[in-house]
Amino acid sequence: MSRVCELTGKGPMSGNNISHANNKTRRRFLPNLNEVSLISDKLGRSFSLRISAAALRSVDHRGGLDAYLAKAKDVELSDRALKIKRELGKA
């Protein structure tokens, strides 16, 4: 399972640990991913997605999964999220 948000595409970043003596060693900054179930109002069912905490706030801010996917760019979405977006378009 990759460490990538299914809605925003946010993934691991790299950077440095910097010690008190200013020694620099490489490290990874991982996104805060959570397994959540989001309910689609149009389709009337829930979807289990692995999304970041920031994406969860964005979904709440836009008014739910349907509104978020309608406004989201296809490039950022995962295959599962794109499939949900296409189902919403048909419904």
- Residues 19-73 have pLDDT tens digits of 999 999 999 999 999 999 999 999 999 999 999 999 999 999 999 999 999 999 9
The separation between CA 20 and the C-alpha centre of its own chain, rounded to angstroms, equals 34
Tell me the C-alpha to C-alpha distance, in Å, between residue 77 and each of 6, 56, 68, 90: 6, 14, 11, 18
Per-residue confidence (pLDDT) for residue 53, from 0 to 100: 97
**Please, are residues 4 and 11 in contact by the beta-carbon 8 Å criterion?**
yes
Identify the structural domains of the chain with CATH numbers, from first to last: 13-90 (2.30.170.40)
27 touches 16 (CB < 8 A): yes
pTM of the predicted structure, to 2 decimals: 0.85
